[in-house]
Amino acid sequence: MLKNLTIGQHYPVESPIHSLDPRVKIIITIFFIVSLFLVDNFTTYLVVIVFLAAVIKMSKVPFKFVIRGLRPILMIILITFIINILMTPGKILLKVGFIKITEEGLRQAGFMAIRLTLLIMGTSLLTLTTSPIILTDGIESLLSPFKRFGLPAHELAMMMTIALRFIPTLLDETEKIMKAQKSRGADFESGNLVSRAKNLVPLLVPLFVSAFRRADELAMAMEARCYRGGENRTRMRQLKISKGDYVASVIFTIYFAAVIIIKIW
């Protein structure tokens, strides 16, 4: 399975979650985020955690892959946690100088940290179980009703596809230019931030020039292959809603209803 080896964080295995229609997955993910913001006590989080854990189990994506998605935003979680602890007024538990830790602060901080963690885990599950190209198809299909309000759904999807296609190519090229400039004595590693940024100029200029040249050639090649925008265009792969998608929708609706009912109580 070499599909998307370097692109995105797609984890290619076969599972009931992987084979869901991308549109269903995107909509469920959006409502999952909504459900997280409806939660206002720790007990309800238990429902969310059980649901998410079950989905992760079913997706056959190793747990550590889902956790890995948290790494880039660990700092954000930490900062919100600390700010919440320090800034929330209420019953003071501990006071050191001007730093006050309140009971409400602790509660609020824990709450936000759990919410952010679940949010990232839920959304990264979408990208883990869907290949970028299928995800793009799904987004295009979901956005197409908005075409009549002037939203360029096809163009957006095309841009995403081309971006995904050229990321590895441009990365290769960056590496090549870097080596070429290094061999002429360019220094990308030492110095302070300002001088390092300055040193990037001989890397970025050729990269941009070449990217524009590529864009030019690609446009010509696309036109030579009869590309004329999204009008009257067909797709080889058709998205189809199957039985599994109905089952998933029903299960998710039950979960969503449960969250709402607990909230109203």
Partner 1 sequence: MAENIIKIENVKFKYDEKDTLYAVDGVNLNIRQGEFTAVVGRNGSGKSTLAKLINSILLPESGKIYVKGMDTADDSKLWDIRQAAGMVFQNPDNQLVATIVEEDIAFGPENQGVDPSEIRRRVDEALKAVGMYDFRDWPPHMLSGGQKQRIAIAGILALNSDCIILDEPTAMLDPSGRKEVMDTLQKLKERGKTIILITHYMDEAVQADRVVVMDRGSVKLDGTPKEIFRNMDVIKKFGLDVPQITQLAQGLYRAGLDIPPDIIDVKELVDLLCR
Q: How many beta carbons lie within 10 A of that of residue 192, not counting itself?
A: 7
Q: Is 96 in the site for partner 1 (CB under 8 A)?
A: no
**Residue 80 CB contacts under 8 Å (≥ 6 apart), including other chains:** 109, 112, 113, 116
Q: Pick the binder of partner 1 from 132, 140, 177, 245 (CB under 8 A).
A: 132
Among the listed ranges 5-13, 34-42, 70-78, 199-207, the one in contact with partner 1 (CB under 8 A) is 5-13
Quick check: 116 and 77 in contact, CB under 8 A? yes
Q: Is 192 in the site for partner 1 (CB under 8 A)?
A: no
Q: Is 225 in the site for partner 1 (CB under 8 A)?
A: yes
Q: Is 240 in the site for partner 1 (CB under 8 A)?
A: no
Q: How many beta carbons lie within 10 A of that of residue 118, not counting itself?
A: 20
Minimum Å gap between C-beta 161 and partner 1 is: 6
Minimum Å gap between C-beta 215 and partner 1 is: 8
Q: Which is nearer to partner 1, 95 or 165 (CB)?
A: 165
Scan for tokens 């524009």, then name that residue: 212
Distance, CA of 117 to CA of 114 (rounded, Å): 5
Minimum Å gap between C-beta 220 and partner 1 is: 6
Q: How many beta carbons lie within 10 A of that of residue 218, not counting itself?
A: 13
Q: Which is nearer to partner 1, 101 or 160 (CB)?
A: 160
Q: Is 3 in the site for partner 1 (CB under 8 A)?
A: yes
Among the listed ranges 48-56, 73-81, 187-195, 221-229, the one in contact with partner 1 (CB under 8 A) is 221-229
Q: Pick the binder of partner 1 from 13, 159, 162, 204 (CB under 8 A).
A: 162
Q: Which is nearer to partner 1, 165 or 263 (CB)?
A: 165
Give the total of residues touching partner 1 (CB under 8 A): 35
Q: Is 214 in the site for partner 1 (CB under 8 A)?
A: yes
Q: Residue numbers of the site for partner 1 (CB under 8 A)?
A: 2-7, 132-133, 161-162, 164-165, 168-169, 172, 213-214, 217-218, 220-228, 232-238
